[in-house]
Chains A and B, each alone.
Chain A
């Protein structure tokens, strides 16, 4: 794939999405040419409103799309230089790419610990390694150790989110696709979870692709950000730069520019599309 010269200089991209188009049910075009890269060890935020296509992008990478009758019709997805569109989710987890789904999706009738153990499914019966990994997850999420024997369905939203992330960790991932970890959680918990994610990124060298609506928090923790609107990437840049960007401030962070402006003055591409 890559040029033979100077491999040390060019950083490896763990995820490389090139111009993908996604169609659901053969008719609904959701992504209209999305490209993005996740460098090794980076936290990349994918931002945008409801229905912008954030989750779809993540599912296209992890290939959970197919079970929702979605399909990547154009473009390519590479993972460390290997083409991965067309592989099953199981293949991707074996390659170290795992998705934490939006809305937690814990196994409600399993205990917290059993939930974590299901994450180690691909490691078969390597008892030693699984026990070590379990210890590690409890180290990052001490709260889960207290709740280990509770049914996951009866734990709080925050604990479920931790269970979901911990479960993904049990597969020993190199990249986590994290979908809306802040959904439905109190700001304080959001902060706590993002801190842990940051720790994981720094200590375990896990790369993270984060889909978030909470632009404010996401841009504080991420290194780089992409803004998705209507299935297209409209803006991207280093997180710090995005935070200072006037458009991002106005549309996503909720801090307006100076004074009230007429809608007519807003450049057409910044307007929401209207009918009539």
Chain B
């Protein structure tokens, strides 16, 4: 908690990138099949992974 406070622009940099990626993923599969679907899996897979991983990760002991 001793870190210096970041400007809000920096706080939202990564979340904004994830938001854009998800939105692109949601849109991509509407435009076609095949490669478009794969883009959608990538776009929605990233938030799944980032949200799911810390939940499943074993907590360090001590």
Pairing of A with B: no
